[in-house]
Structure 1
Amino acid sequence: MDLVNPGFGLVFWTAITFLILLWILRKFAWKPILGAVSDREKSIKDALESAEDAKKEMQNLQADNERILKEARAERDAMLKEARELKEGIVAEAKEQAKSEGDKMIKQAQATIESEKTAAVAEIKAQVANLSVDIAEKIIKGELSDKKKQLKLVDDMLGDIKLN
């Protein structure tokens, strides 16, 4: 037998063997192999879908995080602005209160100074009046101790009255 030029019988039995092998493989091996490939394809497809869903969910979470962060920043800015305005209001109120208290103290001091000035002027007037009366009393005592001086004083006074 020559392997390079096989005979009809060899080709026939090789083809029959091949067909039987093909039938056995189809009956017992192809279904499990194709099932495993199909299962593998399905699991890959499911994994891709899960990955795509996870990617979408991550994008949604990222968008939510950005939105929440933006809201938090806006709220922080609003709180800082409110605190700044409150601080400015308190400072302005304290300045106004300090100014009014200062004005009040100045007015009280001016009133006290004026009343003390009035009291001092009145006291000086009283002292001047007392000194004047004391001086006049001493002068009059000196003038009235002599009879001639008394008469002359009366004449001078009468003369002053006539002139007026």
Structure 2
Amino acid sequence: MISVLLLAFSGPNDPPAKCFRTNEFGDLPTCTYSGGEWVRSYPSSGFGPGPGGGGGFEGVFVLFFVVALVAGVAGTVWKVSTARRMARESGMSERDATAMSLLSDDGFEATYLASNLRGRPTTPIPAATPGRSTADRLRELDKLRAEGLVSDEEHETARRSILEEL
């Protein structure tokens, strides 16, 4: 009679003790009654060291997303700081260079091109003034080159211009 009672209570409503034991990672199993017996399985969380864990697809995706986000932010910071430096060195507006770098697809390249075309501000070469002799003008030009206010190329160009007026 007792064996009949035990058989009556060991059906699908009473899971066995193995359904309440954790695995080596501390995970509880999911038990299902299938084909007249209890089947134990451990769910995969996608994270952690347990079965099915270890990162998997979700972990790789999260890692890739974080790396892409950090690279994007670093690239933007570099573009803006470089555009501001180029604008500052060429006498252009740093605010406009920042806006162009952030708000347009080719803004960084446009800032680079504009800063190189514009170049650095130079000292104007003195123009011919009436009443000054050619010798005075050449002496003044030599003095400007000696002080570093006129480059060698500018000196040669201005010297030729003065001598062609003779």
Both structures adopt the same fold (TM-score exceeding 0.5): no
Q: Shorter chain as normaliser: what TM range?
A: 0.3 to 0.5
Larger radius of gyration: 1
TM-score, normalised to structure 1, is 0.37
Higher relative contact order (CA 8 A, sep 6+): 2
Q: Which has the higher helix share?
A: 1
